[in-house]
Amino acid sequence: MKFRNILQSRYGGLIIFGLIFIALSFLVRTILLIKDFQNVELNIIRFFKIYTFGLFYDLVAISYFIIPFVFYLLIVPDKIFNSKIHRWISYAFFTISIGIIVFSGIGEWFFWEEFSVRYNFIAVDYLVYTHEVISNIKESYPMPIIIFGMLLLSGGIFALVKKQFDTCINSQSKFVNRLITSIVLWMIPTIAFLTIDKTSAEIKENTYSNELAHNGIYQVFAAFRNNELDYKSFYQSMDDKEAFTNLRKLIKTSNSEFISNDVFDVTRKINYPGEDKKYNIMMITVESLSGSFFTRFGGTDNITPNMDTIAQQSLFFTNFYATGTRTVRGMEALTLSLPPTPGYSIVKRPKNEGMFTFGNVLKSKGYETNFIYAGNGYFDNMNYFFGNSGYNIVDKKDFEKDEITFENAWGVCDEDLFAKAMQVADKAHQSGKPFHNFIMTTSNHRPYTYPEGRIDIPSHTGRKGAVKYTDYAIAKFLREAKKHEWFNNTLFVIVADHCASSAGKTSLPVKKYHIPLMIYAPEIIDAREVNTMASQIDFAPTVMGLLNMDYTSKFFGKDILLDHPDRALIGTYQKIGLLKNNSLTVQLPTKRTESYSIEKDEQNSCELDKSELRDAITYYQTASYLFHHKRYNFKN
């Protein structure tokens, strides 16, 4: 059958739609390329790859998108298909389909603006948590104008192709011919599903270019499909016994003893001489607090003046790294002391109850442990995870009306959150219990709104203002805390969940994982800087060291002050890395690896160190094994 005949058949509408899809994808790809042109490091070969690979993924995305339409075109008889009412129904559905693609393209602009990637796991989350996301969009963007523009563009595109579309609707066909055409069209996405993933066509030299070469809608399909990656299926691995033998060497410390000769059991007795110090722990986990905001790390915007001062009065860890790029990854590492296993964070996975967490350890020592969140804790499964991991839950539903002075799509402002945390601390102190409050802020998040008049940057003007407001709120919180009896016996922890941006030219841009960790306790700890390299998995063991408490541990992390980890584990949902000895070993799906030398802000490809690859495999393979075999659970 000639192309012209196909174009004039009832399936011609799919061809018209496909051409519109490709044209709009080309336009979006080009706009995003122009936006980040300076980061793409463009040359003729890379330019060709971006658009060739892009067309490849566009065609794969189209094949998925049209599956239900192919079924519809197969079963509808000519009498109905050629009717007047069906014509108007077809107009509506065709225009709506164009509108979906236009809306997706507009959404990609805003998604790229915030994350510098095409749609991914985060976009899937946004489809699940509609209340927060829709409210956030309404508060962040001029939606009436955007929707009007989308409708105008969709209607204009349909007007251009209406004449050809009418030809398709007026066509006649036999069921047998339709069946053959439908089977062929269904075979394409079936083959694509079985043989193609986002690594099938990659630009390895530059992450920005690689993202541009993909298709946002295809990325959503891929994210739904790959919400958890089986470690051994996708990454280089070794014999489990060999991996655990190596792990026991990596996590052994000077003050620990394994309780069993079972190589698969990582349980250790950790001993500190002297009496326990049951300090309270007030832990402020700040949304998207990059190290680069601080003047100590080269920040020039003066948006953390109070935290800059607090850092000078604290135990300040200057070489500290987030394990991931999402809040749930930070929570996972800070509470579980586990490397970021591929796929969704454990916080979001099923069967994550009763795990070996910092909260459960402290609870076994007589602490009251609380997770205090500014928003609705059902988001990202936080309430379920913390509620089944040793923590009491305090979230937005627990705030009285008069306790909320300001809120946005994500929750109450930081001042209100800290005031609630103060109440919770007072109540625990009055009961005679030491307490650990895990406080999670939300103000440094789009739409970047906060109470007016607190700082010299107006609300709703961008991230800098949101960071400076959080800085203001933390200083106010500490001033208020000094008036309470428990202040002198409390460790105030300020740490980030992750950086504000994770985008870079390489797979895992190390500087985009650098975050602050400071422990402020003027009556307990002398102020000093600690330059040892460490990551969020080392937080819990380090605080246990400051508490001078003997305990039974399964933590992968180490006490930074005693055992000097000198390594960091960082990753995305697919790419997982080990940073050690000024080099980064990255494991990628399809059992590939990359290696980079790290010199200041430069990150260049280098020869792979086999011993460091062995350690990287060990950390991630064993973490995955322990979770899936239910061997990382807490037993009091």
Question: Domains (ranges, CATH) in the chain?
Answer: 3-225 (no CATH), 278-564 (3.40.720.10)
Helix (H) or strand (E) holding 603: strand 602-605
Average pLDDT of the segment spanning 433-456? 95
Average pLDDT of the segment spanning 484-492? 98
Measured CA to CA, the distance from residue 18 to residue 66 in angstroms comes to 9
**3-state percent helix, strand, coil for the chain, nearest multiple of 5:** 50, 15, 35
Q: Pick the more confident residue, 171 or 518.
A: 518
What sign does the dihedral 369-631-379-107 (CA atoms) show?
Answer: positive
- CA 243 → CA 123, 195, 614, 629, distances in Å? 34, 30, 8, 15
Strands 583-588 and 368-373: unpaired
CA 588 to chain centre: 17
Q: Please state which of the ranges 86-100, 127-141, 432-446 shows the lowest mean pLDDT.
A: 127-141
Residue 8 pLDDT level (bands cut at 50, 70, 90): confident
Q: Pick the more confident residue, 283 or 111.
A: 283
Q: How crowded is residue 163: how many other Cβ atoms within 10 Å of its Cβ?
A: 8
Position 108 scores a pLDDT of 85
Q: Above 90 in pLDDT, residue 146?
A: no
Q: Above 80 in pLDDT, residue 288?
A: yes
Measured CA to CA, the distance from residue 609 to residue 614 in angstroms comes to 9
Position 362 scores a pLDDT of 98
Q: Quick one: which of 97, 105, 96 has its CA closest to 23?
A: 105
Position 136 scores a pLDDT of 64
Span 519-555, pLDDT tens digits = 999 999 999 999 999 999 999 999 999 999 999 999 9
Looking up tokens 């790229």 gives 112
Q: Please state which of the ranges 138-142, 464-468, 526-530 shows the lowest mean pLDDT.
A: 138-142
Q: Above 60 in pLDDT, residue 129?
A: no
* Contact present, 237 and 593 (Cβ < 8 Å): no
Position 360 scores a pLDDT of 97
Considering only CA atoms, give the Rg of the chain.
27
The percent of residues above 90 in pLDDT, for the chain, comes to 72
* Contact present, 405 and 340 (Cβ < 8 Å): no
Residue 70 pLDDT level (bands cut at 50, 70, 90): very high
The percent of residues above 70 in pLDDT, for the chain, comes to 94
* Contact present, 322 and 515 (Cβ < 8 Å): yes
Span 19-69, pLDDT tens digits = 999 999 999 999 999 988 888 888 899 999 999 999 999 999 999 989 999
Position 456 scores a pLDDT of 96
Span 558-604, pLDDT tens digits = 999 999 999 999 998 888 999 999 999 999 877 889 999 998 778 88
Residue 183 pLDDT level (bands cut at 50, 70, 90): very high
Position 226 scores a pLDDT of 57
Residue 339 pLDDT level (bands cut at 50, 70, 90): very high
Backbone angles phi, psi at 341, to 5 degrees: -65, 150
Residue 297 pLDDT level (bands cut at 50, 70, 90): very high
Q: Above 60 in pLDDT, residue 130?
A: no
Q: Above 90 in pLDDT, residue 423?
A: yes
Position 636 scores a pLDDT of 52
Residue 458, C-beta contacts closer than 8 angstroms, at least 6 positions apart? 452, 465
